Each structure stands twice: as structure tokens, then as C-alpha cells.
């Protein structure tokens, strides 16, 4: 954990001091551009900006969470690059990772807030219980009070994980703690939602790198998520998509279709209504991702994904048949996926509202 | 209770390797267009393979189709990088790894020489001053300390 809050060195200066050549710096910028999902043509601009970047102070708050998001982050798969990013942010408070606890730790948080007033970033993982403040406290301070107090002098808030972004598992029916997301409380500061259960590690660092590089936040979608990572649905980027378009579906985990790598829609894949970068960024050092491993997408980066019916039920289509509604098989390409995504999103919202679940059998009957 | 390792795992049929996910062919077309552009206007192109939704086998198929050409360069900075020209002159594969040997970037560059191979102006400035210092020093054989001064670039 860095303690140099008064550090004024730029990233360029500190890399030079570590003996990194300009060529090494270019390699670093190339990997950073790739991590930020920016086109390679932006490398010179990134190099110019990163060279002058000064270390921002980051305060990380963990509320009602399972530590999966912090786990994900610390397993980020580009140690050199991410360490450089992390060495260059001043992580002044992270009560899961830091050794200190109690009053001393809280004093460090207050000092960081004071010294960097108006400039520091607050990262939050976990949801905030509103029913009873006693459900989750840190050093005797309720999550709600700590969030409000810490965010007051912040430049922006990054809500990491579906709990901080949308309420997540604690918010699932019947929501016993009255859990809410960060954006339901914080209305006067920019809030970036980095959703996922957990989010992809490089997506978390990509957002931090964006702030470090450009001193601002990336463009967001209607749910407050960075468009570079959440701009396209899993379905639109899925390599199994040609099978969906041809109507070739696996029906069980070990049938012929499963072995041939056909589409997992009928086994509950939520790819058509899920926006995330799994299909391209992938998981575990870029090794694979759920659909590539033969399991449908759970929709973990979408609000209320726990309440959207069973993970193994095909997306609820209460009225009517997908083939007729979207011209399945007749038109190929992204437009179909986009239409299916919208249709499925609406259908699912409908189903959630009516508390209907539709099984594969129901789907068969209607088609 | 039965332990996880006691559960007998039987693979009845291997994954069908003949399934093609079709990402390699469109990319080869894109590379062809970029090569023509390079030939006509000298405009280079970089394709970041991390942004392509590869299925299993797609990357291998693409790299096999491009094959390897005459030049391979190893770069050692912040981990190893391998840069090689494919069997198609002007088409380069740039693979960067971190110090743990994990891939952090894989790109195809359609260019005469990938930018990162050129000696950077800042590094050149630095090597001039280091060599000057060394020749000024009484013990010419002693190694000179590196101190990079990018801002002079
Ligand atoms: S439904 Fe799922 S498996 Fe099928 S193409 Fe869409 S994302 Fe891929
Ligand atoms: S594939 Fe779907 S459920 Fe799985 S991590 Fe990605 S977005 Fe979440």
C-alpha cells in the first residue's frame, strides 16, 4: 500500500527512475490501450497522457460484499502492467487489504480525504443496507454514513461489482437488509458502474487506467457502465452466434449439440440480454470464458440477475415465438442479435414483473 | 462423503475439432486490404486481437495461415515480447508478455517495421550521454549507469 500521498512525480518520471526505457514505456502503453479496449491508433495519445499522469489517491470501501470483487482485482492477469498502474495510484485505504484496522485506519482515510480534497477517487464494492445500519458497519460507522462522508470530497465514485452497481445478491428478493446500490444514494457525483459478479479484473483496472490516463471518466451507457466494456451484448460478440442464427441449440450438457459447441440459449444462456466484455476479454489470463467452457452466461452484469428466473431456464418469452418475432434464421448479423437482446430484455423485465418463469418446455410449446 | 477426486470422470467423446468458428477468414481479408493500403499509401494498420471474439481454435487457425517468415525479434523490457514477420512480408505478429510470462497484448501490425523496434529518440539521447560519460571517465571499462531522460526527446 503506497503511503506517499504528497508524491508529485509523474508516471513517466517514476518509470524512468525504475530503469524502464522509452521502448518499455511504449510496450506498457500498448498493453494499457488494449486493456482499456481502445484502438491501437490511440497509443501515442495514451503515451503522451500517461507520461504526465500524476498519482491519484484512491479510497476503497467494502460494504455488504463477499470480497469476490477484490479477489478478482488482485488476480488481475497482467502483473507488470497492473502493478505499474497500482504502484501509480495511491491506494490510501482498503480495509480488506490493509493491515491496519480501527481508529488508525480510519485516521488514514480521513487524512487522504483531507489532503486530496476534490481530487480523490472512491471505489466501492458491496451494497449498502438501509433497513438497519447495524447490519454492516466498519469501526462502528454505518455503511451509509461512511459512504456519504467519504464521497463528499471525491472527484468520482466507481461502484465495482453488481452489488455496488445494482444491489446484487443482497438486493435479491426478499432483500432482507434493504440493500441498495451506490447510485441510489449518491446523486451529486459521477458514479461509474463496473458491474459483474465479479467484474472482469482487467475491466476494473481498465477503468482506473482511464482515469489515470485522461483524468476523467469514460463514456457511460444508460446504466452508468463504461461503453467500451459494456457497449455490446455477450450474444453479439459470442463465437457460438452462427449456431444461434442457424437455430442449432444444445439441449443438455452432454448431447451432440453440446459436443459440437452449439448455442446454449435453450440451456438458459442469458447472453442476449447481458452487456459485458467476457466474449472478447475472456477470463483467467484470457484462457476462456463461461460460454467457451460450455455453460451459458448467467447475466451477472445486469441488474437483478438473481431474480430473473432460473439460470438454466431459457430467457422468459411470455408471449410469442422468437423465430417469428425476430425473424430467426432469416436475417443474419448483428441486427438480429440487437433485436433479440431488446426483445429478451423487455420480455425478461415483463416476466420479473409478473413473476412468471418460462421453461424450455414452455418455449417449445409456443414455437 | 465421496471426495471430489474420487468421482470418476469419463470423457465419452472429445470436443469436435472440425467445428470452425469462422473468425480467421474475415481477418485474413482485413489483412489483405491493409496490405494493399500499405503498398499504395504507406498507411500502416494495427489489429488488436484482444478485441476479436475468437472461438476455440480461431487464433491457431489464423496464426497457422499466416505462418512464419524471415525475421524474428525478441524484446526484453517489462517481460519478454516476441515480434516476427509472418510468411507474408509486411504482416507482423507482436506478442507482449509480462514478467510472469503471461500474454498482455497480441496484435497484428501491417507495416514495414513495427514501431516498437525502432530505437526511440529518448533512448538514443540517453545512450549518447551515457557513452559520452563513459569516455570522459578515467576507467573507460566500467559500466555506466542508465538514467532515462525521455523529456529531452
Ligand atoms: S444465446 Fe448464449 S451461447 Fe447462444 S449465441 Fe447467444 S451468447 Fe452465445
Ligand atoms: S459470461 Fe455472463 S455470467 Fe458469466 S461472467 Fe460474463 S457476464 Fe457474467
Lowest model confidence (mean pLDDT) among A24-28, A97-101, A358-362:
A358-362
**Over residues A54-77, mean pLDDT:** 79
Q: Do B148 and A21 touch (CB under 8 A)?
A: yes
Whose CA is closest to A77, among B56, B52, B54, B100? Answer: B100
Ligand nearest to the CA of A302: 2
- Helices A201-214, A43-52: axis angle to 10 degrees equals 70
Chain A residues with beta carbon closer than 8 angstroms to that of B149:
16
- Tell me whether strands B80-85 and B91-97 are parallel, antiparallel or unpaired: antiparallel
Whole-angstrom distance, CA of residue A285 vs CA of residue A75: 9
Residue A328: inside a domain: yes
Looking at residue A337, its pLDDT comes to 37
Note whether A131 and A56 are same-domain residues.
yes
Domain boundary among A207, A230, A253: A230
Looking at residue B18, its pLDDT comes to 57
Whole-angstrom distance, CA of residue A208 vs CA of residue A321: 43
Distance from CA of A350 to the nearest CA of B (A): 31
Lowest model confidence (mean pLDDT) among A6-15, A83-92, A331-340:
A331-340
Note whether A261 and A165 are same-domain residues.
no
What is the pLDDT confidence band of residue A13, given thresholds at 50, 70 and 90? confident
Three-state SS string over chain B comes to: CCCHHHCCCCCCCCCCCCCCCCCHHHHHHHHHHHHHHHHHHCCCEEEEHHHCCCCCCHHHHHHHHHCCCCCEEEEECCCEEEEEECCCCCEEEEEEECCCCCEEEEEEEECCCCHHHCCCHHHHHHHHHHHHHHHHCCCCCCCCCCCCCHHHC
Residue A354: inside a domain: yes
Whole-angstrom distance, CA of residue A48 vs CA of residue A36: 16
Domain boundary among A186, A204, A230: A230
Q: Do B146 and A19 touch (CB under 8 A)?
A: yes
Stated pTM of the model: 0.79
Q: Any chain B CB within 8 A of the CB of A81?
A: yes
Most distant CA atoms of chain A, gap in Å? 68
- The answer to whether A143 and A181 have CB atoms below 8 angstroms apart is no
Contacts of A324 (CB under 8 A, 6+ apart): none
Distance from CA of A195 to the nearest CA of B (A): 19
Q: Which domains does chain B have, with CATH numbers?
A: 22-114 (3.30.1370.140), 121-152 (no CATH)
Q: Which stretch, A34-38, A47-51, A88-92, A161-165, has highest mean pLDDT? A: A161-165
Question: For atom 5 of ligand 1, which residue has the closest CA?
Answer: A241
Residue A319: inside a domain: no
Residue A332: inside a domain: yes
To test the contact with chain B by mutation, choose from A78, A278, A332 the residue with the greatest count of B C-beta atoms within 10 A, namely A78
**Does residue A216 surpass a pLDDT of 90?**
no
Note whether A265 and A339 are same-domain residues.
no
Contacts of A48 (CB under 8 A, 6+ apart): none
Whole-angstrom distance, CA of residue A32 vs CA of residue B141: 39
Looking at residue A110, its pLDDT comes to 82
pLDDT in tens, A233-291: 999 999 999 999 999 999 999 899 999 999 999 999 999 999 999 999 888 777 889 99
Residue A261: inside a domain: yes
The three cell numbers of residue A156 are: 468520482
Question: For atom 6 of ligand 1, which residue has the closest CA?
Answer: A235
Residues 46-65 of B with CB under 8 A from A: 46-48, 50-56, 58
Q: Range of A224's domain? A: 11-230
Looking at residue A230, its pLDDT comes to 96
Distance from CA of A37 to the nearest CA of B (A): 7
**Does residue A312 surpass a pLDDT of 80?**
yes
**Does residue A340 surpass a pLDDT of 50?**
no
Nearest CA in chain A to B118: A23
- Cα torsion for A306, A308, A309, A315, to the nearest 10°? -130
Note whether A112 and A208 are same-domain residues.
yes
**Does residue A358 surpass a pLDDT of 80?**
no
pLDDT in tens, A110-168: 888 888 888 888 999 999 999 988 888 888 889 999 999 999 999 999 999 999 999 99
Question: Does a cis peptide bond (omega within 30 degrees of 0) precede residue B17?
Answer: no
How many angstroms is it from A285 CA to the middle of ligand 1? Answer: 22
Whole-angstrom distance, CA of residue A288 vs CA of residue A232: 18
In the predicted model, what is the mean pLDDT of chain A? 80
Identify which has the larger pLDDT, A196 or A7: A196
Note whether A80 and A200 are same-domain residues.
yes
Question: What percent of chain A is predicted at pLDDT more than 90?
Answer: 41
Q: Any chain B CB within 8 A of the CB of A11?
A: no
Looking at residue A258, its pLDDT comes to 93
Looking at residue A325, its pLDDT comes to 36
Note whether A218 and A244 are same-domain residues.
no
> Cell 525479434 maps to which residue?
B73
Looking at residue A300, its pLDDT comes to 96
Whole-angstrom distance, CA of residue A355 vs CA of residue A193: 27
Residue A1: inside a domain: no
Question: For atom 3 of ligand 2, which residue has the closest CA?
Answer: A298
Any atom of ligand 1 within 6 Å of the Cβ of A263: yes
- Total domains in chain A come to 3
Contacts of A317 (CB under 8 A, 6+ apart): A343, A344, A347, A358, A363, A366
What is the pLDDT confidence band of residue A317, given thresholds at 50, 70 and 90? very low
Looking at residue A51, its pLDDT comes to 84
Looking at residue B24, its pLDDT comes to 87
Residue A333: inside a domain: yes
CATH of the domain at A258: 4.10.480.10
Note whether A207 and A292 are same-domain residues.
no
Burial B3-35 (b: 16+ CB within 10 A, else e): eeeeeeeeeeeeeeeebebebbeebeeebeebb
Residue A2: inside a domain: no
Collect the ranges in chain B with pLDDT lower than 50. 1, 152-153
Whole-angstrom distance, CA of residue B111 vs CA of residue A307: 51
Domain boundary among A214, A230, A246: A230
Q: ipTM, 2 decimals?
A: 0.81
Q: Which stretch, A26-40, A57-71, A221-235, A272-286, has highest mean pLDDT? A: A221-235
Amino acid at each position: 500500500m503506497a503511503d506517499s500521498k504528497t508524491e508529485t512525480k509523474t508516471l513517466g518520471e517514476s518509470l524512468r527512475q525504475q530503469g524502464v526505457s522509452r521502448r518499455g514505456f511504449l510496450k506498457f502503453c500498448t498493453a494499457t490501450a488494449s486493456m482499456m479496449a481502445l484502438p491501437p491508433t490511440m497509443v501515442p495519445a495514451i503515451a503522451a497522457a500517461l507520461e504526465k499522469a500524476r498519482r491519484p489517491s484512491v479510497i476503497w470501501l467494502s460494504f455488504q460484499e463477499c470480497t469476490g470483487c477484490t479477489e478478482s482485482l488482485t488476480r488481475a492477469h497482467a502483473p507488470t502492467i497492473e502493478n505499474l498502474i497500482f504502484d501509480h495510484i495511491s491506494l490510501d485505504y482498503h480495509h480488506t487489504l490493509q493491515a491496519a484496522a480501527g481508529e488508525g485506519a480510519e485516521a488514514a482515510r480521513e487524512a487522504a480525504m483531507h489532503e486530496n480534497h476534490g481530487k480523490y477517487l472512491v471505489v466501492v464494492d458491496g451494497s449498502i443496507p438501509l433497513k438497519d445500519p447495524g447490519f454492516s458497519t466498519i469501526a462502528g460507522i454505518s455503511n451509509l454514513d461512511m459512504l456519504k462522508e467519504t464521497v463528499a470530497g471525491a472527484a468520482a465514485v466507481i461502484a465495482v461489482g453488481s452489488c455496488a452497481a445494482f444491489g446484487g445478491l443482497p438486493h435479491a428478493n426478499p432483500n432482507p437488509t434493504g440493500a441498495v446500490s451506490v447510485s441510489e444514494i449518491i446523486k451529486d457525483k459521477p458514479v461509474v458502474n463496473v458491474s459483474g459478479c465479479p467484474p472482469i479484473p482487467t475491466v476494473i483496472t481498465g477503468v482506473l487506467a482511464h482515469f489515470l490516463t485522461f483524468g476523467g471518466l469514460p463514456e457511460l451507457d444508460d446504466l452508468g457502465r463504461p461503453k467500451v466494456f459494456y457497449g455490446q451484448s455477450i450474444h453479439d460478440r459470442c463465437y457460438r452466434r452462427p449456431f444461434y442464427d442457424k437455430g442449432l441449440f444444445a439441449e443438455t450438457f452432454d448431447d451432440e449439440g453440446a459436443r459440437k459447441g452449439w448455442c446454449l440459449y435453450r440451456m438458459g444462456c442469458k447472453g442476449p440480454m447481458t452487456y459485458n466484455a467476457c466474449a472478447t476479454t475472456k477470463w483467467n489470463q484470457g484462457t476462456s470464458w463461461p460460454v467457451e467452457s460450455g455453460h451459458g452466461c448467467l447475466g451477472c452484469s445486469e441488474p437483478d440477475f438473481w431474480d430473473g428466473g432460473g439460470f438454466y431456464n431459457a430467457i422468459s418469452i411470455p408471449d410469442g415465438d422468437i423465430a417469428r418475432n425476430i425473424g430467426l434464421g432469416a436475417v443474419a448479423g448483428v441486427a438480429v442479435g440487437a433485436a433479440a437482446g431488446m426483445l429478451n430484455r423487455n420480455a425478461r423485465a415483463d416476466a420479473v414483473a409478473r413473476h412468471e418463469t418460462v421453461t424450455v418446455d414452455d418455449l417449445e410449446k409456443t414455437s | 462423503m465421496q471426495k471430489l477426486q474420487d468421482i470418476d470422470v469419463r470423457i465419452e467423446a472429445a470436443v469436435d475439432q472440425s467445428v470452425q468458428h469462422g473468425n480467421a477468414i474475415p481477418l485474413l481479408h482485413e489483412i489483405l486490404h491493409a496490405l494493399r493500403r500499405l503498398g499504395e499509401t504507406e498507411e500502416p494498420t494495427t489489429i488488436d486481437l484482444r478485441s476479436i471474439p475468437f472461438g476455440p481454435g480461431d487464433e491457431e487457425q489464423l496464426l497457422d495461415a499466416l505462418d512464419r517468415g524471415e525475421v524474428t525479434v525478441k524484446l526484453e523490457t517489462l517481460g519478454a515480447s516476441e515480434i516476427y514477420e509472418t510468411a507474408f512480408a509486411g504482416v507482423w505478429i507482436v506478442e507482449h508478455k509480462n514478467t510472469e510470462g503471461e500474454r498482455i497484448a497480441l496484435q497484428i501490425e501491417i507495416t514495414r517495421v513495427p514501431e516498437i523496434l525502432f530505437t526511440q529518440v529518448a533512448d538514443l539521447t540517453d545512450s549518447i550521454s551515457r557513452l559520452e560519460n563513459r569516455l570522459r571517465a578515467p576507467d573507460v571499462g566500467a559500466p555506466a549507469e542508465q538514467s532515462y531522460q525521455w523529456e529531452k526527446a
